[in-house]
Amino acid sequence: MARYEGRCLCGAVRYRAEAEPINERVCHCRICQRAIGAAFNARLLFRIDDVTIEGPVATINSTPDLKRGFCAACGTTLFSRRDSRNILGVTSGSLDDPSLFKP
Ligand SMILES: [Zn+2]
Ligand SMILES: [Zn+2]
C-alpha cells in the first residue's frame, strides 16, 4: 500500500505515490505564490512514473516547462509537473496525512 496518498478538497481527484520522495521543499518564488495563492508552495517531489493520479485533473503551464495540476471541480492545487526532469511535486496540504511532509 502506498504511504503517500492524497486528494483534493472535494475528493474527485486522488493520487498515490509508490516511492519515497526525491525531495521535500518549500518554494517562495513569485510564480508559486501566485499559483497557490499563499506565501509559499510546500511540496514533495516524486518521479512522474511513481505517482498515479485519478480523476478530473486540469492543468495550466506556469512556464513552458512546468505544468500546474488542479482539480477541475473544486480547484485544489495538487501538483506541479516538470516533464523534462521527470519530476512531479505534490502539494503537502493535499496529503491524507500531512505530517509525512518533512522539508
Ligand atoms: Zn476536487
Ligand atoms: Zn516556486
pLDDT digits (tens, 9 = 90+) for 66-89: 999 999 999 999 999 999 999 999
Query: How many domains, the chain?
Result: 1
Contact 80, 66 (CB under 8 A): yes
User: For residue 63, is it left (φ>0), alpha (ψ between -120 and 50) or beta?
Assistant: beta
Edge-to-edge strand order for the sheet containing 51-54? Answer: 4-7, 14-17, 51-54
Amino acid at 10: C
Rounded CA-CA distance 102/95 in Å is 12
Tell me the CATH number at 87: 2.170.150.70
pLDDT at 1 over 60: no
Confidence at residue 39, expressed as pLDDT on a 0 to 100 scale: 96
Beta bridge partners of 85: none
Ligand with smallest separation from the Cα of 9:
1
**pLDDT tier, 9 (very low <50, low <70, confident <90, very high otherwise):** very high
Structural domain boundaries enclosing 73: 4-100
Q: Which helix (H) or strand (E) holds 66?
A: strand 66-71
pLDDT on residue 2: 63
> Ligand 2 centre and the CA of 97: distance in Å?
23
pLDDT at 3: 86
Q: Which residues surround ligand 1, an ion (CB under 5 A)?
A: 8, 10, 12, 71, 73-74
